[in-house]
Amino acid sequence: MTKKRVKIAVAALAVALLASLCACSVVVDGTDVTDYTGVQYTTYEFFNTNTTVSCYLPAKDADRLRSLWDGEIREKLSEISSLLSQDGENSDVRAFNAAEEGATLRIDAVTYEVLTLAKQAYSDTDGAFNPALALSVDLWGFSTRFNKSDYSPSKPYDRENFRSELPDESYVNAFLSLADFSGTEIYAEGDGYYIKKSSDVAEVDGVVYTQQLDLSGIGKGYAADAIAEILRENGFAFGYVDIGSSSMSLMKNARKEAGAELGEWTVSVLSPTESGKYYFKSYVKDSSLSTSGSYQQFYEIGGRRYSHIIDPFTGEPYQSDVLTASVFGESAALCDAYSTAFCVLGSEKAVALAGKLEGYTYTVAVSTDQGFDVLSNAKGKRV
Ligand code: ADP
Ligand code: MG
C-alpha cells in the first residue's frame, strides 16, 4: 500500500468515525433525514378555502417537488373541486342536481369514489352523515351562493335577510323528504360509472323539487387523501396536506417536536369557545384527521344557534351537545364524514358509534353550563 493510499484510508476511517459519533443524525422510520431542508410549502385556493401542501425533503428534490405542486397536485385539486362543486361547468354534482327524478347519469371515476365513500359513511353513521341534504343546506342559507356579497333572493324559499328570518316549515319538511340517500344508486358498469337519482319528488307552492347532492362534508377529506397519495407515490414521505384547517392528511415529520414521538406531527385543535385558541393537542403520523363544529359557520336567532351542519332527521341545523368533533384515522374522507356525523349525533351516540369504527379515534368538545368538557380516546391531551 502506498503512503497516499494509507492517508485516504485513514481519512475515510476518520469520516466514518465522525459520522457514527455525530449526535445530530436523525433517522425516522429508516430514512436518514439529517439533511432534509426546512419545511417547504405552497398554498392553493380551492373548495372556497386554503389548501397547504407542506414537505420536508433533501435539497436535491426541491425542483421535483415544485413541478409536482404546479402540475399533478394543482390539477388534482382542481379536478376534484370542480367535479364536486355546486355550479362548476363540468361538475357531476351540478348535473345530478339539475336532472329529473329517476334519471341515470354517467359520472367521473373521482365522483364515483367520493360517492362510494359517502355511501359507506351514510351507512356507518346510520344516516347522520347524509350527502343528499343540499336543498336543506341551501334553505338554511349555507350554500356557497350565500357567501357572495351580491346575494339577493332568487329561489321561492329565499328570505331577504336569511340570517335573521327562519325558513317556512313547509320547505323544511319537503326538503327533508327528499334526503333519503338510500334511494340513490351508485354503480360501475363496463368501463363507466353511474348514479341513478332517487325517484322521490316534493312539491311546494306549485314547484316540484327533486333530490340534490352536497358533497362538501366529504370532498375536502377526499382531496387531502388524494394529494397525500400523490406525494407518497413520488417519494415524498415527510409532510402534510391541510385543507381549510378542517381536513388534514399527515405523513411523517422530519423534526422531533417536544412532547411528540419521532416522526409525529403535533396538531392543535381549535377551541369551540375561544377564538384563535386551541383546546386539544394531538400527535399524528401517517394518518389523517378532520374537524367539524358549530362554531365557524353559524347565525343566531332568538338565542338559538343555526349552523351549517344539518340534522338529517329533522331537516334543521343540528342542536346536539357536541360543539366540535375531530376524528382521526386512515382515511381523511371518512374522518371528514364521521366528524360531521358526530356533531349531529350528540356525544352519547357519537361515542357509541366510535366504538364500532375500527381504527378511528375521536376528540369531542361537549357543551356544559361552564363551557365544555372533553371526551377523547385519541393520542394527545387537553391543553
Ligand atoms: P366543513 O365543510 O366546514 O369542513 P363539515 O365537514 O362538517 O364542515 O361539512 C359540513 C358541510 O357539509 C356543510 O356546509 C354542508 O354543505 C354539508 N352538510 C351539512 N349537514 C350535513 C350532514 N348531516 N351530512 C353531510 N353533509 C352535510
Ligand atoms: Mg365533515
DSSP string covering 259-317: TSPTTPEEEEEE-SSSTT-EEEEEEESSEEEEEEESSSSEEEETTEEEES-EETTTTEE
Q: Which of 117, 135, 310 to mutate to test the pocket of ligand 1 (most atoms within 8 A of CB)?
A: 310
- DSSP secondary structure of 109-158: HHHHHHHHHHHHHHHHTTTSS-TT-HHHHHHTT-SGGGGSTT----STT-
Residue 183: per-residue pLDDT: 92
CB 193 within 8 A of CB 108: yes
Q: What is the pLDDT of residue 1?
A: 44
CA-CA distance, 120 to 340, in Å (whole number)? 14
Q: Which atom of ligand 1 is nearest to the CA of 310?
A: 20
Find the radius of gyration of the CA atoms of the chain. Answer: 24
Separation of CA 292 and ligand 2 centre (Å): 6
Is the pLDDT score of 5 beyond 70? no
Q: 115 and 107 in contact (C-beta within 8 Å)?
A: yes
Express each pLDDT in 341-359 by its tens digit: 999 999 999 999 999 999 9
Q: Is the CB of 214 under 6 A from ligand 1?
A: yes
Tell me the C-alpha distance between 378 and 10, whole Å: 52
pLDDT at 147: 86
pLDDT at 270 > cutoff 90: yes
Write out pLDDT tens, residues 80-133: 999 999 998 999 999 999 999 999 999 999 999 999 999 999 999 999 999 999
pLDDT at 22: 55
Q: Which of 30, 36, 46 is nearest to 216 (CA)?
A: 46
DSSP state of 160: T
- 228 Cβ partners below 8 Å, 6+ apart? 240, 241, 249, 250, 251, 288, 332
Distance CA(365)–CA(264), nearest Å, equals 23
Q: What is the pTM of this model?
A: 0.93
Interatomic CA distance for residues 133 and 260, integer angstroms: 39
Q: The sheet that has 278-284: what strands, in order across it? A: 265-270, 278-284, 380-382
163: which 3 cell numbers?
340570517
Centroid of ligand 1 to alpha carbon of 340 (angstroms): 6
Q: Which ligand does the CA of 129 lie closest to?
A: 1
Residue 336 CA, closest ligand 1 atom number: 6
pLDDT digits over 45-94, tens only?
999 999 999 999 999 999 999 999 999 999 999 999 999 999 989 999 99
Dihedral angle, C-alpha 142, 143, 149, 153, nearest 10 ° = -90
Bridge partner residues of 316 (DSSP): 311
Residue 6's pLDDT band, with cuts at 50, 70 and 90, is very low
Report the run of H or E that residue 382 belongs to, with start and end.
Answer: strand 380-382
Question: Where does residue 372 fall: left (phi above 0), alpha (psi -120 to 50 degrees), or beta otherwise?
Answer: beta
Give the residue whose CA is nearest to atom 14 of ligand 1.
308
